[in-house]
Amino acid sequence: MDDVIIARWSPYVVGAGIGILSWVAFLLSNRPIGCSTAYVRSSGMIEKVFRGKKATQKAYYQEFTPTVDWEWMLVVGIVIGAFISSVLSGHFQVQWVPSKWAEVMGSAVSIRWVVALVGGIVMGFGARWAGGCTSGHGISGALQLAVSSWLVFLCLFISGIITAHVLFAGWGG
């Protein structure tokens, strides 16, 4: 396994792989690729642990049943794939605070986790509000030439650039 090191994945190979994955998703499930619904289903499963069947009586969870489905397994696959990719690239490491973040914002783990948590919550609400996440709109919706998806994707791209400039202002790398 030490002989197999892939420093960078070709964007062409990755793009083709995502395209093929999209075809397979439509072929097998007649649904586009998306991840944000898996988090909704997870929150419903957690709520079921504490509230039992009362959780499934909510209108929201009747539309998005709190069960493990193919989207939920896609998220598991993304985590496993990211791990395998980092190992194959030779860059796997456990790191509580990324070095680029530490250079600009400091190395306090608690601050990094709070910012990551708040950012995740905001992204989650945004994904549900927009009717999908970056994979739902940016990949599946864009492939279907949905104007709403192109608009969401454009806004995600612009807001990402603005956020990077705000968080890393003055950072030269």
Q: Which three-class secondary structure string do you get for 83-125?
A: HHHHHHHCCCCCCCCCHHHHHHHCCCHHHHHHHHHHHHHHHHH
149 with 143: CB under 8 angstroms? Answer: no
pLDDT of residue 30: 84
pLDDT of residue 171: 54
pLDDT of residue 6: 64
pLDDT of residue 1: 46
pLDDT of residue 130: 77
Taking only the tens place, the pLDDT of each residue in 27-58 is: 888 888 888 888 888 989 999 999 988 888 88
pLDDT of residue 172: 52
pLDDT of residue 64: 86
Q: How far apart are CA 116 and CA 150, in angstroms?
A: 26
Positions in the chain short of pLDDT 70: 1-7, 170-173
32 with 22: CB under 8 angstroms? Answer: yes
Nearest Cα to Cα of residue 42 among 7, 72, 82: 72
- Give ∠ CA 143-145-151 in degrees, rounded to 5: 105
Q: Is 3 exposed, middle or buried (0-12, 13-18, 19+ CB in 10 A)?
A: exposed
